Structure 1
Amino acid sequence: MTLASPETKAATPEMQVAHEALHDTFAAYRDANDERLSALERRASADVLIEEKVARIDAALERQRAVLDELAVKARRPQLGTETADAGDAARREHKAAFDAYVRSGETSGLKRLERKALSAGSGADGGYTVTAEVEREIGRRLAAISPIRAISGVREISLGTYKKPFMTTGFSAGWVSETGARAQTNTPTLDELDFPAAELYAMPAATPTLLEDSAVDIEQWIAAEVETAFAEQEGTAFVTGDGNGKPKGFTAYETVANSAWEWGKLGVIATGQAGGFPATSPSDVLIDLVYALRAGYRQNGTFVMNRKAQSAVRKFKDAQGAYLWQPPASAGGRATLMTFPVVEAEDMPDIAAGSLSIAFGDFRRGYLIVDRQGVRILRDPYSAKPYVLFYTTKRVGGGVQDFDAIKLLKFAAS
């Protein structure tokens, strides 16, 4: 999972070391790949030993990039309480104490009293109680740090089960007219709406009685840390490939059409011209076509999205001057770039294969919308897995394409 947010804290010494190692390895990769290309030109066939050398360095490059990304994610994780300007507020302290009692011992009276005060139900359809505002914010920040598509998409918080967004299928008419010329009546726009229902996402971390009894353990931090990876992995899959049934609809699950025949409601695709691969000659030209399939207003904020294997393939490409199109991060905590555009690695993107949609490019902030329903709930279960205590943790999340002109896909097909 690659680095997922452009906002990073100051680079730590470990990040600086990892960043320098990544650049050194990429320099070795360039030299080895240049040697491979020279051998191909001389012999018209691949040298097995050189191919293996390039593959080894490429694998090392991936490992070092993963280490750098993990360090960057760790550096971005704030501690609970860093945003508590109103930490002295009695209501917040009361909620925190009641929630802590519920998690550690199952005591529910405090939370029931607080939720009655707030005129809200004591439990949801599956039971449980809402976590404190600090824990909810912490979970959201952690997801933004490690969930690749969430980090680059538009995010909206809602209080109802579905977010409805209107859009114009036809716009207002407009034109030029002289100062005294007759003004023709303009057409009114035709409106439609997109629905983004929030589906339930859950995780079930387990704790030992000893951990819960240990007052030195920050139980809120523990919960946030335990659910972050489970939530991020499920989200990542749904935002890319989800079918929209009980989960968000992924951007690769929408109907596609050749970009030359693009229409609203479908995503435009650019074909590579070769099933299951890039063209044998000038393979990077299709990436240029993909970039310029996007209108300028979207292109300036464009991001490439692909998985590790696809990134390994494009890493070998050069421009007409012999410079590599893929470049490692310019700074510790930054992102790799492809043709100067940032690259986000999403492992749920399909591998390159015949007819696959393995590379996306677009302004995802405008193109894909994630909706988060307010409130994260926890149901304490000390019975199902004795002696462990399970915490059934749920949040409601939806997602889908909101601007079909803002994302383009590369299709590995003849046409």
Structure 2
Amino acid sequence: MIKEKTMTSPEVKSLRKIAPEKKATGNEVALAFDDFMHAFESYKEANDLRLSEMEARVGEDVVTTEKMDRISRFMDNQKRKMDQLAIKGARPALGGMETSIFDSEHKTAFNDYIRKGNEHGLRQIEAKSMSASTDSDGGYLVPDEIDQEIGRRLSALSPIRSISSVRQVSTSVLKKPFAQNGMSVGWVGETDVRPETNSAQLVELQFPTMELYAMPAATSSLLVDAAVDIDSWITSEIEAAFAEQEGAAFVNGDGVNKPTGFLSASTVDDASWSWGNLGYVATGADGAFASDPSDALIDTIYSLKAGYRQNAKFVMNRKTQSAIRKFKDADGNYMWQPPAAAGQQAMLQGFSIIEAEDMPDLASNSMSIAFGDFERGYLVVDRAGVSVLRDPYSAKPYVLFYTTKRVGGGIQNFEAIKLMKFGIS
């Protein structure tokens, strides 16, 4: 019988809690990272035990499998905890930003509106700046510093936004011409006549912005409490809601009242790839990896042109990542490698892994892994301005804050992203 090695209990380590309102310290981040690395070492030991049991008994021991699943869940939780601590440590204080006299006036008027419902100051501000409400339901634009902070936090919390190109516009639709075949170029001598080049084949890509909303609620006592930072409260209340909805739309959105997700594009075998489709590489097994998973991973990596591989990343959810953690290469080394430091990403075959929970689980013919240069392949479009409408009537005694922003997204380069299909062909 193989003796199970001892390990530090993940359940004990998970009792370490960080106060949500405090800025993360370097020691807290270091402790979380140490816990993660200890868990990874225990995971490798448990997996080695599982493999040896399979060789000896031609089967897996249930206790060992459950232990691996428990450690894997702990590692996922620790990774999220490290990311949250890294975000907290990097957050600037809203009150510490440099502001002009106009910005300060806007912030004071906005604070008065949120706390007391006094609209007079904001009406004057918008009249001075020749601006208007951003939606048909009314509302007022938040100060620029809050708008910028919301954008920064969304970039940290929304996985696809964090790796994609982001462009801000003032209109409802961004229209972008794109040359499918690139620019026509050629070599000539210093005094040679320059021949006329072929006309570029341009396509127009359109990225409409759609309304995204959140509706945090506050009590009257919170609003009158001078110690409460209303700017930070608004930002923290909506950031997670916006990031969650964005993340789902950027992956699976159908383009109807939401951005178009990259998995909504039509797909073809990469050998038959053409513009307007995403190419895929099949694993060779239905709903799973083949016996040697490295073959499909390498084929997927090299299906991407060299220019796109330099900045390429894997995108998958935690369940798919959990399956990959068990794989070893021909030399017995684990393919999945943990982050080198807190705030960084795990690696697979030398490329970063971005965890997006909206990616599909492993299933028959699922497209559960994406690989590519998302900065060149996917575009997120933000319409400038976030507006807030105060509603003290609909949910008495609570005050609702109907907060809206407009965002769009879609594929801008179908050549820069490839998919892995968990199917035979």
Q: 1:141 to 1:174 in 2, by over 3 A?
A: closer
**Cα deviation code 1:52-103 (max 9, x no counterpart):** 232222222223223222222222322213331xx3x321221111111111
Instruction: State the percentage of identical aligned residues.
Output: 57
2:311 — aligned with what?
Answer: 301
Q: How does 1:310-349 map to 2 (within 5 A)?
A: 310-349=320-359
> What SS is found at the alignment partner of 2:360?
coil
Tell me the distance in 2 between the aligned counterparts of 1:201 and 1:98. 24
Shift of 1:388: 0.4
> What SS is found at the alignment partner of 1:398?
strand
1:26 — aligned with what?
Answer: 40
2:66 — aligned with what?
Answer: 52
> TM-score by structure 1 length?
0.93
Tell me the distance in 2 between the aligned counterparts of 1:350 and 1:344. 14
> TM-score by structure 2 length?
0.91
Shift of 1:348: 0.4
2:283 — aligned with what?
Answer: 272
Q: 1:91 to 1:175 in 2, by over 3 A?
A: closer
**Cα deviation code 1:13-55 (max 9, x no counterpart):** 0110111111111111111111211222233222333222322
1:164 — aligned with what?
Answer: 175
1:67 — aligned with what?
Answer: 81
Tell me the distance in 1 between the aligned counterparts of 2:65 and 2:411. 40
CA RMSD of the aligned region, Å? 1.8
Corresponding residue to 2:404 among 390, 394, 405: 394
Residue 134 in 1 paired to residue 145 in 2? yes
1:380 — aligned with what?
Answer: 390
**Cα deviation code 1:242-275 (max 9, x no counterpart):** 0011110011111111111111111111111111
RCO higher in structure (CA 8 A, sep ≥6): 1
2:133–2:141 CA contact under 8 A, matched in 1: no
Q: 1:273 to 1:324 in 2, by over 3 A?
A: same
Q: 1:142 to 1:183 in 2, by over 3 A?
A: closer
1:355 — aligned with what?
Answer: 365
Number of aligned residue pairs: 403
2:24–2:88 CA contact under 8 A, matched in 1: no
Shift of 1:296: 0.9
Q: 1:308 to 1:322 in 2, by over 3 A?
A: same
Where does the alignment leave 5 or more consecutive residues of structure 2 unmatched? 1-22
Where does the alignment leave 5 or more consecutive residues of structure 1 unmatched? 1-8
Tell me the distance in 2 between the aligned counterparts of 1:267 and 1:122. 39
Q: 23-32 vs 383-392, which deviates more?
A: 23-32
1:205–1:391 CA contact under 8 A, matched in 2: yes
1:237–1:348 CA contact under 8 A, matched in 2: yes
1:203–1:394 CA contact under 8 A, matched in 2: yes
> What SS is found at the alignment partner of 1:414?
coil
The letter of the residue matching 1:312 is S
Residue 153 in 1 paired to residue 182 in 2? no
The letter of the residue matching 1:282 is D
Q: How does 1:285-296 map to 2 (within 5 A)?
A: 285-296=295-306
